[in-house]
Structure 1
Amino acid sequence: MGFSKEERRKRFVRWIKTLFFLIAMLMSLLLFSAPILLVIADALLPSALLSASLSLNLQALSSHVNNYDFRSSLIDIPLVSIIRAAIILCVYSFCDGPRLSRGPYLGIATICSVLSLAFVSLKAAYVFSDGSSINRRGNGYSRAVEVTLFACSFGLAIGHVIVAYRTSCRERRKLLIYKIDIEAVSQSISLFVS
């Protein structure tokens, strides 16, 4: 049951169009849903890194929480990321075009990111100081896990500010375009009426 040359060509063109459509949809998702994708990454990535490195189960997680020490435990870095992501997602979901362009989303994203950067920087100073190395205490963290968690938290915090700023600028441009269009329409209506 073979296809004719014309049918194969049509099928090939259909596959190319479908592939182009899927790539365009993915690019649209990445461009216009960057805040949501970053929030999901912020909530999941640090937790996944920590749980993969320690093979955390519920009992080991409760043990880490019960034996928490600011200078030696890394369990609080994923918690800071989850809290930061939840706050930013709540503010983003309550904002619409005008409020995204000037105000709460950019401000809250910046405040949350700066506070979490301050916390993680303070923690990094304790963790990476010579006298308080986690590896010497035997808590099970490798130096690579420590560096990766801190770098991930820093990168995601900075990413939130960048994405919030770009979203704010995009919404401001939209409002400017709509304002110009509204003025043009109102002027043209007044010309036709008189």
Structure 2
Amino acid sequence: MLLNQKYEIFPNEEQKEILDRWLQYCRQTYNSALLDKQRKYRKSKESYHRKDMQTQLKMDKKKYPFLKEVPSQPLQEVFLRLEKAFDGFFRKEKNYPKQKKYKDYTSMTLPQFGFNAKGNRMAMSFSDNGKLYNTKLGEIDLLLHRPLEGTIIFWFSVSKIYPALTGSNTPTSKLEWITKRRRWGITARKS
């Protein structure tokens, strides 16, 4: 049985900006891979596989250095999502995959947690004081309302239904308003 447990995290403003930027890079990668897949099929009637997308990502990282800011795992998971979307479409369970807008792409996955056999940190782990730790984000406060058990896969997600309690009723821009309303959380999957 697969069980997901959700925990709220409390990133500081700088961490929120970084997480939001990572989400947008993942969204842009998803949209780019979808367009590449469509173009290749139209041009040669050939499929554009996940391996091809990962090869393209390597070239894109050389061309666009900002992609190096994001850990490689969330970017690789983008291709898995796209593959699952097409699998669902071909099984006639879902609609044809479409471009993701800012409001539609609200999560990213970091599947490796803890320490490897050599004792090195993986993408996410706990610091000595019990906070969530990532080398690029630093320590993030976490509300652990129940113990973590089983295989831990961190899935950062954003909830846009959380009400914004700010001093002003008129936001200066739509983007800022949406960012103020974001509430970050993680999901730990227990198998």
| TM interval, short-chain normalised | under 0.3
Higher strand proportion: 2
> Larger C-alpha radius of gyration, 1 or 2?
1
Using structure 1 for the length normalisation, give the TM-score: 0.23
Higher relative contact order (CA 8 A, sep 6+): 2
User: What is the TM-score with the length of structure 2 in the denominator?
Assistant: 0.23
